[in-house]
Structure formats: structure tokens, C-alpha cells
Amino acid sequence: MSNLPHDSAHTHVTGRSEFVDDRAKLSNELFVDVLYSPHAKAKIKKINIDKALKSPGVKGIFLGKDFHHNIWGTIFQDQPLLAETEVNFAGEAIALIAATHPDTAAVAKALIEVTYEVKPAVLSVQDAISLESFIAGSRKIERGEVEKALASAPNKLENSLVIRGADHFYLESNVAIAYPKEDGQIEVHSSSQHPTECQHVVSHGLGLGSKDVTVIVKRMGGGFGGKESQAAPIAAYAALVAQKLNAPARIVLTKDDDMVMTGKRNPFEVFYNVGFDDNGCITALDAKLYSDGGAYADLSTSIMERAMLHSDNAYYIPHLRVTGQVCRTNYHPHTAFRGFGGPKGVAMIEKIVEEVAHYLGKDPLEIRKLNCYTDEGGRNITHYDQVVENNCLPRLLSDLEKESNYVARRKEIEAHNIKALTDRSLPLKGLSLTPVKFGISFTTRFLNQANALVIIHRDGTLQATTGATEMGQGVNARISELIASELGLKRSAVRMMPTSTDKNANTSPTAASSGTDLNGAAAILAVRRIKMRLSELALKLFDIPESQWARHTAGLGTQEEVEVKNAHLTNDPNEGAEWNSGIAEYHGISFKDGQVFSAKHPEKRMTFHSLIVEAYHNRIALSEYAHYKFPGLSFNKLTGKGTAFLYFTQGAACSEVSIDRDTGEAKVTRADIIMDLGRPINEGLDLGQVTGAFIQGMGWVTTEKLFYKNGFLLSHAPSTYKIPNIQDTPRIFNVRLLNNNENKPNVRGTKAAGEPPLLLCLSVWTAIHDAMKRLSPYKLKYPHMELPATNEEILKAMHPELFKKWTKK
């Protein structure tokens, strides 16, 4: 384990990191602007581009008909690249304007005349349900006898929860530059988590073979799921202009346009019936999940599936039925966002736990511990029949209870809130501790594969590429560290090169937190094959006087070459080493600190560089390519049963909030987090992911609220959309990693860190409820609030009578 800085830290902070729009402008380059619909639903009766075409500096205007295939979609191909006859959301692209300058493009855009016939739009999950406006069918995952268990439960609660969306708010908006190359080829530089998807959408859209489209992703200025599917049409827009006008074409969305055009985290509405005994042991749960998919399918069905698979979170619920239905509305197609469906499923069950505790007058932590998955009594099997291996949850709960000083603080807060009831100048305080268990793997099995290419140059430095894309999470730092460590080199000896579809094809999106797990494993397999050959060579060289080595003699043609077997290309991840126990060793040869030596006779040694030079002169291949897939996945989407995940990343957070009585503002005054990330590759990067994800999640559950008017997003800039800033972070913020050496299935015993800690933000949301519980209206009734619990939402809960006249129904 290391603690090296992010490989781009120094170029980021000095402004020298290259993002797509930093690429120098070519002299004939064109700028592409997008005209989109202001209406959520309308028929397009006419598009008149005549005036716009005559505008100075305009080189072309393109419509849906200009694409070879005007259709795309990640799971279902249901979405036009450019709307032709109808628009189904406000922000849906209709026309592309190619001009010599962004300003001239904007002038021309205003001259395009679109005649709409505005239609009634579906603008809520409720409306979609009553109109049966759905995307794909309803899904169900079920265990036990839910009806019976509910009927016989001593206590029952029935309720619902509204969960709203959130914008990804990556710093770099969607962007692409397409270069026309000889013989009809196109090269696209994109800010995408999924270059292969961009390649496919571009080639299909333009009527080219994939062989003629290369998509390159050097890095993103953040993705967070927002650039998993939705970067692809942007790439296609640039590519279309480049193809039609035979000139480089650059499209750079403004923040406002990006926010209006692209989908967000899916809003959800969930309905549940829960049965529990007098101790608070949950015996039955019947949950119905509805999500707002927006106008097109995008990834919403997979997101729903993950929500259903996370409706248990950390709890064993013997009789559990969860159904899921994606609704079709007239909002931008909602999409992947850190956690995918997980946060929605977990929000529901954590709210249920809080309600059960409130109903029984118990501390919610007691209910959590009581229902937590344990290895005893068969209470370690999920509703989809996967065994929870390496279960750290009980330990996380009890460790964090101690470390956060939960019991004492609970008492203090109780005493404080009693004072606050009579002294309104005091804030209300709340405390909550929530766990997370997040399954690592794509639930779509075929996506759980990756490939890597590793190259050793003759000076002993390396380049590597995989299908993984760098979005700030540090996947390049981690993979280069894995490669370097196998060869006993410093990380700085390995350069990760831009992700490119001409080197790594048929890749999956860098998503589901599995970027390092999948691509890092492929990279290790590749480097181990080279290492196998190098080890055999070293073993043989140690018995040959150096004067006879090929580098000295080969020029004269006098020396026999050392023959080395080509490492057999199996797909066994354990090739030569326990996956979990670290570095592989072959032929008793060790690689350490830039040296290669016999483990038994360490005096027999040479430098790594020297070995590489010798390998070259003996005509030994110094590059390798490998493919890797997660083993053991058996989830069946039809039955909703099986091993869906390679393992679970787990964690727990304890948050304290302080609520201003006049403004409803909730401040997180303290947060304590323990995360189980197995055996980290780079602890600093992992702590960064945990901290960042938690704060990003805090925004979702507190201040980030999307305001729409007739389906058009009004809050499309930081002035109206409030993400957390540095003052919003907890003043006391203790984050540590659990020491866990037992994650056998994954590369080096690590656990993915990207998404799981986001779900810990729910402790903030439940802590806000915890504070509200002290107020008189909520002695018996649970203080139901939406997610996010914005200042307004909290004020409304504090003073329901004052808000009556503004509240519908």
C-alpha cells in the first residue's frame, strides 16, 4: 500500500493538465453549437434554417436527417441523435450549427425558426403512473412469503418517500473534438466514461465501420456517471460536422446548456409496507419502487435493478419483495450517477429503520444492529440469494459507535434539544449512524470484462493502456502502481496513456466502481506474462558470463540466444500468485527496487534496465495484452436470483447536524466514517474518494434541488443550484479505513471505493429527521420529509401550519 499523490496532482494544480478543450485550435477548425427544444413535449411542424445559413461565418447547419442512422441508446436504441418530428424533453437537441466562431454560431442559432405544436407533457412520477407511461416492464425480486409475514407481524407501517434527482456538476461540461482523417476516418477526442460507446454511436450515426472511428479519452474533468452514456451523442455531433464539412469540429457545451440538456440522477418515488416485532426486528418488507426515467430509456432500467438489489442495504429481511418500474416522463433522460440505483434503495430502507425505531421509541442504532446481516443463524443471505461473504457490517457498526462516542453524544443531544424546545435561539441537533453495503460488479454480466496493453521500452520505462478512463478518481495512479509493483519499480516508471479504442476495444464504461478491479486485473495479467519471460531469462543469464550476453555478442553473430518460453495465455487470474496475496514470482526470481535477483542467491542480480536490454537482444517480447473477467457471477435477471456481485464494499458513517430554527439550514457539524476498502492500493486516493463521495452525497440530501418550469430546468447554473462548498464540509471530519485482509476474490485484496461512500450521506439525511423528531408534532408521527431535506423542506416540517397555503393537496 502506498500513499503517493494522484498522478496528475502537480499538473492539475499548476494548470498544465490537458482537457479536451485545451487542445490547440487548428486553422480550419469549426465550432459547433446545438439548438434544443424549449418545450417538454411538442410536435415539430417545421424547421426553417434559410436565414441562419446566410448568417456570416456559418459553414453548415445539420438536422436529424443528416445522420446515416439518427438513433442511439445504451441499453435500448430508442433515442434520436437530433429530434426530427417531435421533441420529448426540454433540452432535446434539434439542430447543429457549424461556424467559424462560437459567437457567430450563437447568432445563427437564434435565426433558426422551429414551429412547434406544444403537447401536454408528463411531468411527474405520479402522472406517469396514472397514465401508465412506462419504460420497459416491471421487475420483481422476491424471497419468502411476504403477504403472510406482513399479516402476522405484530407491528406494521405503510408509507412512501419522494427522492429527487441531482445534477452531476462535473467541472468540465460535455465536450468533443472530431478530426477528419484520410480515407473517411474520424478521430474523436471526447470527455467520456465510455469511449467504446462513443465509437459505436459515432460509427453507427455516420454510417462508418468501427474500424474507421477512433475515440480517445485522455481524462475528464469529472464524470460521476453523467458521462457514461450521454457523452456519446455529443461526440456524434462533432463527428457529423467533421465528416460533412471535412474540417475539425469542436463542441463545448456551456454549463447552462449542459445542465439543461443532460439527464440527472433518477428521481424515485417508493411505497412500502413493513412488518416488525416489538424489538424492532424487521420480518417483512413489501416495496414498490418507481423511478422517473425521463423521455428515453438511457440506463434507467439498470439503475432500477441496482436500487432493487440494494433495498436491503445492511439488513437481513427474511420476507422481502421489491418491485421496480421505470416511468417515462418528459424530462431529460435520467442517467447513471455515483451509486447508480444504490442510494435510492438504501434511502428507503434507512428511512424505514428510522421509522421503526421512532414507532417503538428506540434508538435507531439499536434497530440497525438488531437487523444487521450476521454470519449466524443463516442471516447472511440477501433477497437475491447471494451470501454476504466477508461481512464486516456488525464490526463497522460497533467500532463506529465507540469511535464516534455515539452513546455519550446521544445523551448530550437529547439534553440540548430539551433546552432548545423552550429556547428558540438554540439550534436543533440530530445524530444518526448509517451503514452501507454496496455490491461491486455490473449487474449486467457481460460488462464485467476488461483488457489491457502493457509495453516495456528498452530504457526500462513502461507505457500501459486499458479501457479505463480517468475522471479524477485516480484509476491511472492505481493501475500504474499495480503494474510497477509487479516489476519492483517506482510508479513513476509507468505512464498510463490516453484511453483509445484502437488499443483497447470492446471495453465497458468506467463505471460501477469497478474501473481498477477490472482493468487493473487485466493489466496485472499482462505484466505477469512479461514477468514470466523475464524471470526465465534472468534465471538463465545468471549462469552465463556477462561477456557472453547477447548485447555484447549479437552484433558479431556469435552468441546463442537464450530461448524463453512464451508465457501461456491462460485467463487464470491466479497465474503464479494468489490474487489476494500480492506480487507474483516465477522461477525463484525477485523484482525489487529496480533490481532483479535470485531469491535464494541474492548476490546473483542485475538491474531491471539491464534485464530489459538483454531481453530485447534475445528477441523476447516486451509487450503484452491481456483480458480479464470477474469470476463466479451468476445473477439471473429473469428470476432475480444469484450471485450478482464479486464482493461487497462496506462502511458506516455517523453524522451530527445542527438546524437553524429561523432558516431551516442544516449544518453537518461532525462526521465520522469507517470504510472497509479491503487492502487499499493507495490509501490517500481512497480517503479522497471517501471524503469526496460523502460530501457530494451531502449535497444530494440537503441543498441540491432541481427546479423545473413546465419541464424546463430553471436551476441550470451554480447561482441557482447549490452544491456543497468548503464551508459546508463538517468541521470535525474523521475518516479512517478498516484493516481487512480478507477480500479474496478481488485483485490484491482491494475493494472498490468510487461509489460506496456516497451512500453514507444518508446518515446526514436521517440525522435531520432525528433532530425534527424532538418537535411536538412528531412525538407520535414520524417527520416525513422529501430527499433532499432542503432548508425549505425543513422549515415546512418545523412549521407545517405556515406552509399549508403553499402545499398542494
* Active centre residues (catalytic): 755
Q: Which of residues 88-127 bind ligand QUE (CB under 6 A)?
A: none
Within a 10 A sphere around the Cβ of 38, how many other Cβ atoms?
A: 17
Residues 5-34 close enough to bind ligand MTE by CB under 6 A:
none
End-to-end alpha-carbon separation of the chain, Å?
Answer: 57
Rounded distance between C-alpha atoms, residue 538 and residue 520, angstroms: 26
State the nearest-atom distance from the C-beta of 257 to ligand MTE, in Å: 20
* Interacting residues with ligand MOS between 731 and 790 (CB under 6 A): 755
CB neighbour burial string for 724-761, b if at least 16 within 10 angstroms, e if fewer? beeebebeeeebebbebeebebbbbbbbbbbbbbbbbb
Any contact of residue 193 with ligand MOS (CB under 6 A)?
Answer: yes
Of 229 and 485, nearer to ligand MOS (C-beta) is 229
User: Which region, judged by CB under 6 A, interacts with ligand QUE, from 231-239, 356-364, 504-512, 648-656?
Assistant: 504-512
Contact 292, 267 (CB under 8 A): yes
Print the SS3 string covering 367-388.
HHHHHECCCCCCCCECCCCCEC
Residues 679-718 close enough to bind ligand MTE by CB under 6 A:
689
Which one-letter DSSP state was computed for residue 646? Answer: S
- Residue closer to ligand MOS by CB (options 340, 579) is 340
* Burial (CB count within 10 angstroms: exposed 0-12, middle 13-18, buried 19+), residue 426: middle
Query: Which residue number, 74 or 230, has a Cβ lying nearer to ligand QUE?
Result: 74
Give the x-and-dash track for 191-230 against ligand QUE (CB under 6 A).
-------------------------------------x--
**Which one of ligand MTE, ligand QUE, ligand MOS, none interacts with residue 272, CB within 5 to 8 A by kind?**
none
In the list 8, 283, 443, 535, the residue contacting ligand QUE (rule: CB under 6 A) is: 443
Closest CB to ligand MOS: residue number: 225
Instruction: Write the interaction track for ligand MOS spanning residues 595-624; mark x where CB under 6 A is met and - where it is not.
Output: ------------------------------
Residue showing cell 493501475 = 479
Best CA proximity match to 174, nearest among 259, 62, 298 = 259
* Residue-wise DSSP of 97-132: EEESSHHHHHHHHHH-EEEEEE-----SHHHHHHHT
* Residues sharing a CB contact under 8 Å with residue 224, sequence separation 6 or more, in sequence order: 168, 169, 170, 337, 338, 471, 696
Binding to ligand MOS by residue 336, rule CB under 6 A?
yes
**480 belongs to the binding site for ligand MTE (CB under 6 A):** no
* Per-residue CA distances from 804 to 210, 797, 808 (Å): 58, 11, 8
Beta strand pairing status for 494-496 and 462-466? parallel
Residue 233 contacts residue 175 (beta carbons within 8 Å):
no
Q: Which of 39, 143, 306, 491 binds ligand QUE (CB under 6 A)?
A: 306
Q: Does 299 bind ligand MOS (CB under 6 A)?
A: no
Residue 224 or 782 with smaller CB distance to ligand MTE = 224
What residues between 398 and 417 interact with ligand MTE by CB under 6 A?
A: none
3-state secondary structure of 599: coil
CA distance 38 to 93: 10
Planar angle of CA 61, 64, 67, nearest 5 degrees: 90
Q: How far is the CB of 219 from ligand MOS (least distance, A)?
A: 15
- Whether omega for the bond prior to residue 788 falls within 30 degrees of 0, making it cis, is yes
Which of 684, 718, 694, 754 has the alpha carbon at shortest distance from 225? 754
Which residues inside 223-242 make contact with ligand QUE, applying CB under 6 A? 228
CB of 697 to ligand MTE, least distance (A): 11
Decide if residue 472 touches ligand MOS (CB under 6 A). Answer: no
**Interface with ligand QUE, residue 444, by CB under 6 A:** yes
Q: Which stretch binds ligand QUE (CB under 6 A): 251-259, 388-396, 443-451, 571-579?
A: 443-451
Q: Among all chains, which residue has been given the C-alpha cell 419504460? A: 135
CB 223 to ligand MOS: min, Å:
6
404-410's contacts with Cβ under 8 Å and 24+ in sequence apart are 404/433, 404/654, 404/672, 404/734, 406/365, 406/431, 406/433, 406/654, 409/656, 410/363
337 lies in the site for ligand MOS, by CB under 6 A: yes
Residue 511 binds ligand MTE, judged by CB under 6 A: yes
Binding ligand MTE by CB under 6 A: which of 91, 195, 205, 225? 225
> Nine-digit cell at 662?
429561523
Residue 468 Cβ, how far from ligand QUE at the closest point, in Å? 13
Between CA 427 and CA 419 the distance in angstroms is 10
Query: CA nearest 175: which of 34, 16, 12, 383?
Result: 34
Q: Which residue has the cell 425543513?
A: 794
Residues 238, 512, 564, 654: which binds ligand MOS (CB under 6 A)? 512
| 651 in contact with ligand MTE (CB under 6 A) | no
- Give yes or no for residue 580 binding ligand MTE (CB under 6 A): no
CB atoms within 10 A of CB 241: 29
Name the residue nearer to ligand QUE (CB basis): 114 or 347: 347
Report the C-alpha dihedral over residues 181, 184, 185, 188, rounded to 10 degrees.
80
Q: Please tell me the distance from the alpha carbon of residue 94 to that of residue 105, in angstroms, as a whole number.
A: 15
- Is residue 299 at the binding interface for ligand QUE, with CB under 6 A as the rule? yes
Q: Interacting stretch for ligand MOS, rule CB under 6 A, among 334-342, 373-381, 568-576, 633-641?
A: 334-342
470 makes contact with ligand MOS (CB under 6 A): no
Question: Which of the choices ligand QUE, ligand MTE, ligand MOS, none does residue 579 contact, using the CB cut-off of 5 to 8 A by kind?
Answer: none
Binding-residue pattern over the window 10 to 39 for ligand MOS, x denoting contact by CB under 6 A: ------------------------------
What is the smallest separation between the CB atom of 111 and ligand MTE, expressed in angstroms? Answer: 37
The residue whose grid cell reads 474523521 is 734
Mutual angle of helices 608-617 and 521-541, in 10-degree steps: 80
CA 303, CA 293: separation in Å to the nearest integer?
A: 10
Of the candidate residues 365, 447, 494, 652, the single one contacting ligand QUE (CB under 6 A): 447
Under the binding rule (CB under 6 A), the answer on residue 192 touching ligand MOS is: no
Task: Build a one-symbol-per-residue string for 223-242: x at contacts with ligand MOS by CB under 6 A, - elsewhere.
Answer: --x--x--------------
Spell out, one character per residue from 743 to 762, where the chain touches ligand MTE: x when CB under 6 A holds, - when not. Answer: ---------x-xx-------
The single residue listed with the C-alpha cell 424547421 is 47
Choice between 75 and 497, CB closer to ligand QUE: 75
Residues contacting 327, CB < 8 A, separation 6+: 122, 125, 128, 129, 133, 134, 135, 290, 291, 292, 293
Say how far apart CA 449 and CA 519 lie, in whole Å.
Answer: 8
Question: Is 510 a residue that touches ligand MTE (CB under 6 A)?
Answer: yes
Of the two residues 230 and 535, which places its CB atom closer to ligand QUE in the complex? 230
Q: Quick one: 262 or 689, whose CB is closer to ligand MTE?
A: 689
Give the residue at shortest CB distance from ligand MTE. Answer: 515
Q: Write the binding mask 340 to 369 for ligand MOS: x where contact by CB under 6 A, - elsewhere.
A: x-----------------------------
Binding pattern to ligand QUE, positions 62-91, x when CB under 6 A?
------------xx----------------
Query: Which residues would be at the binding site for ligand QUE (CB under 6 A)?
Result: 74-75, 228, 299, 302, 306, 336, 340, 442-444, 447, 509, 511-512
Contacts to ligand MOS by CB under 6 A: 193, 225, 228, 336-338, 340, 511-512, 755
What is the binding site for ligand MTE (CB under 6 A)? 222-225, 338, 471-473, 475, 510-516, 689, 752, 754-755
